[in-house]
Structure 1
Amino acid sequence: MTLDKNKLSQEKLDQIITAARLMKTGGVVAFPTETVYGLGADVTNANAIRKVYEIKQRPANHPLIVHIGEIALLKSWAQAIPESAWILANHFWPGPLTLILKRSQHIPDYVTGGQDTVGIRVPAHSVALALLHALGPDKAIAAPSANLYGKISPTSAAHVRAALDKKIDMILDGGACTIGLESTIVGFNRDTVSVLRPGGISVSAIESVLNKTVVLCQNTRSATRVSGSLPAHYAPTTPLKLYPTEMIFQTARRLSARNLRSVVITWSDIDLPELNGSNIHHVRLPNKPTSYGKHLYATLHQYDHAAFDYILMEAPPELPSWLAITDRLQRASFSHISSTI
């Protein structure tokens, strides 16, 4: 794959070269991808990876995803790669797909949480690819999302700055993420292909490319630990709750009567009831899952810092195309399930 540097300004290329130099000397750099912003460090630098875990306050046994610059480099970072993985890589990379593969000797324990597997992907973002190319073909970037562990993922440089500004060496600003949800994570076990985390690529798209049924391991115990798989994740500080369409506004009115402020976030074209007072704010996100996903985290960031007592989300439709969004919202609301309104 050839990188088209003409898409980037000279100023941006200079920033990327600076970021690469920092990473080569053990620095930690936030950088954009098409999914969310990553908190990147040189895979082979133990001190830099340790800083990533410390900055995020991330458990040491929770593995990081390794980002590489092109498909041809996959053999350097993984071994015993199954045919299905090659098919998916050639079809979806660069793109929001992470493959869980047997790690090569170049991948140390501190990246994989001690597992013998590693998650690898090629990001579809010109800045991320330019950074990888600036590092060189013998380097890769280990990067979780550039936020505090378990909190809302960042989809802009401003989100990273608000959470981590003084803690990291540099933030590469690449604009708003075009997908806005994390990558789909796929694992392989003999002839079985499993989706371990739904994301930017649908299960049906993977099945279509492989011409076989794929197992969905969502909300089930998997032998392989992967990013974003804990019950509570992607969560705002403000309590977030999911409600069916018919219940969400009556809940908001009940809270308002107690002088509690709530932001009501919907996707459907429901008729708004009469909303009295200033305790309820309504936001409508797009009713198409791709557009909804692109704006979800940015919306949560905005209203998590707007002095509301609750974020009330209209439950997504029970359709395969909304699977990744449902997954994120269920995990974002998990810590607040037992609380009553």
Structure 2
Amino acid sequence: MIAKIVSYLWPMLTETTTELTRAIAMLQTGGILAIPTETVYGLAANALDAHAVSEIYRIKQRPKNHPLILHFGKLNDVLPYVSEFPEDAERLASHFWPGPLTLLLKKTEKVPGYLTGASPFVGVRIPAHPLLLTLLNQISFPLAAPSANPYGMVSPTEVSHVVHQLGGKIPLILDGGPCCEGIESTIVGFQEDKAIVYRLGSLELDDIATVLGYIPEIVHGSTEKPLTSGMVKFHYATQTPLYFMDEFPLYEGDAVYLFLFEIPSGFVGLNSRVLSENQSLKEVARNLYAFLHTADASGAPKIYIERPPNEGIGRSILDRLQRATAKFRA
């Protein structure tokens, strides 16, 4: 199977009616396709179609006990699927939806157990990508849409990544351009009505704290029976061994070196790149997966990356890299 790629120019929606209608028809009849979001590309299906969802798990080779996040077009569509909406959840939703925020809330009977690994909670999100919002507001069901890549591997932020990783397994890819955030959504749950961050992501902890008036607790550690996405120890990994530079200070000439802001004076590595020449951690986050995909495809025996600071969006970047390097340090 060769995936058909349908391209759009954003923010202008031009000549999309026919292919968007086709994509909607595919979803309504149990089909699977790749969709753009502002975070990463997703592998989407009707969340209420058990067979379609099972195809997501099969194509990704994702463990069945790993919950899926539901994507909606507007808040009123979310409400029938959650039994409680704490006040702090409302505050976050009003500030950050549409956007890279997933709320982990108690589910209603409308949410099938196969979506949540039998957990009483479900992750819900209203994404900000205009193409996806257009699609979501023309269907009557939520989309289950984990990242469009094999389980545990680097997430895709460009269509070329989806083609390389899954192109022969899915019939349609909606091309919304490069993802503007570059890493997954931040997942926030609630205990005793207080926010808890279960997955660091594109929405910064400091921004959440500004809205809530307190810094939420972060759930650290990993589990093989996660409450939500992104909580396992080994994740977001390249096939090429990936290490932090500060753990291996000796230079290896044939390795790829990824620096945050600049290549140090006197560094002689020919295969070196800078993730943000503007010295912006937001740009580092946006470029991270794309640079890892390129380095992984280079044929180099190893990849070394500079450790980001544990502050701002750097916390989320560091979380991804700690999980990505974990299997090579085990």
Structure 1 length-normalised TM: 0.89
Q: Does 1:237 align with 2:239?
A: yes
What's the CA shift for 1:243? 2.2
Task: Quote the residue 1:46 is aligned against.
Answer: 50
| Structure 1 residues 316 and 239: CA distance shift in structure 2, 3 A | same
Task: Quote the residue 1:299 is aligned against.
Answer: 291
Give matches, 1:86-97, under 5 Å.
86-97=90-101
| Among 87, 109, 114, the residue aligned to 2:113 | 109
Task: Quote the residue 2:4 is aligned against.
Answer: none
Paired residue type of 1:156: E
What secondary structure, in the 3-state scheme, does the structure 2 residue paired with 1:69 have? coil
What secondary structure, in the 3-state scheme, does the structure 2 residue paired with 1:315 have? coil
Deviations 1:91-149 (A, max 9, x none): 100000000001122110111111111000000001111111222xx311011000000
Query: Is the 8 Å Cα contact of residues 7 and 126 (structure 1) preserved in structure 2?
Result: no
| Among 277, 284, 289, the residue aligned to 2:274 | 284
Task: Quote the residue 1:148 is aligned against.
Answer: 150
What secondary structure, in the 3-state scheme, does the structure 2 residue paired with 1:206 have? helix
Answer with 176-185 or 219-228: which moved more: 219-228
Query: Is the 8 Å Cα contact of residues 222 and 232 (structure 2) preserved in structure 1?
Result: no
Q: Does 1:263 align with 2:261?
A: no
- Structure 2: unaligned runs, 5 residues or longer: 1-9
Deviations 1:148-188 (A, max 9, x none): 00000000111111111121131111100000010000011
Task: Quote the residue 2:268 is aligned against.
Answer: 275
Which structure's residues are more often helix, by fraction? 1
Q: Does 1:330 align with 2:329?
A: no
Runs of 4+ in 1 over 4 A off after TM superposition: 220-224
What's the CA shift for 1:318? 2.8
| Among 214, 219, 228, the residue aligned to 1:212 | 214
| Structure 1 residues 212 and 319: CA distance shift in structure 2, 3 A | closer
Task: Quote the residue 2:76 is aligned against.
Answer: 72
2 CA distance for matches of 1:105 and 1:336?
41
What secondary structure, in the 3-state scheme, does the structure 1 residue paired with 2:44 have? strand
Q: What do you get for the CA RMSD once the two structures are aligned?
A: 1.8
Query: Is the 8 Å Cα contact of residues 263 and 272 (structure 2) preserved in structure 1?
Result: no
Task: Quote the residue 1:28 is aligned against.
Answer: 32
Paired residue type of 1:73: D
1 CA distance for matches of 2:197 and 2:271?
36
Paired residue type of 2:77: L
| Among 169, 175, 178, the residue aligned to 2:177 | 175
Query: Is the 8 Å Cα contact of residues 198 and 218 (structure 1) preserved in structure 2?
Result: no
What secondary structure, in the 3-state scheme, does the structure 2 residue paired with 1:106 have? coil
Query: Is the 8 Å Cα contact of residues 236 and 301 (structure 1) preserved in structure 2?
Result: yes
Query: Is the 8 Å Cα contact of residues 157 and 171 (structure 1) preserved in structure 2?
Result: yes
2 CA distance for matches of 1:274 and 1:120?
46
Structure 2 length-normalised TM: 0.92
What's the CA shift for 1:191? 2.9
Deviations 1:59-93 (A, max 9, x none): 00000110000112221221111111111111100
Answer with 206-215 or 308-317: which moved more: 206-215
1 CA distance for matches of 2:222 and 2:160?
34
What's the CA shift for 1:272? 3.1
1 CA distance for matches of 2:260 and 2:83?
43
Query: Is the 8 Å Cα contact of residues 72 and 78 (structure 2) preserved in structure 1?
Result: yes
What's the CA shift for 1:223? 8.7
Paired residue type of 2:250: T
1 CA distance for matches of 2:226 and 2:233?
15
Task: Quote the residue 1:100 is aligned against.
Answer: 104
1 CA distance for matches of 2:66 and 2:124?
15
2 CA distance for matches of 1:129 and 1:335?
36
Paired residue type of 1:95: G
Answer with 286-295 or 90-99: which moved more: 286-295
What secondary structure, in the 3-state scheme, does the structure 2 residue paired with 1:107 have? coil
Q: Does 1:19 align with 2:23?
A: yes
| Structure 1 residues 79 and 223: CA distance shift in structure 2, 3 A | farther
What secondary structure, in the 3-state scheme, does the structure 2 residue paired with 1:320 have? coil
1 CA distance for matches of 2:55 and 2:225?
27
2 CA distance for matches of 1:222 and 1:160?
25
| Among 8, 12, 28, the residue aligned to 1:7 | 12
Paired residue type of 2:206: S
What's the CA shift for 1:14? 2.1
Task: Quote the residue 2:306 is aligned against.
Answer: 314
Q: Percent identity?
A: 39
| Structure 1 residues 28 and 237: CA distance shift in structure 2, 3 A | same
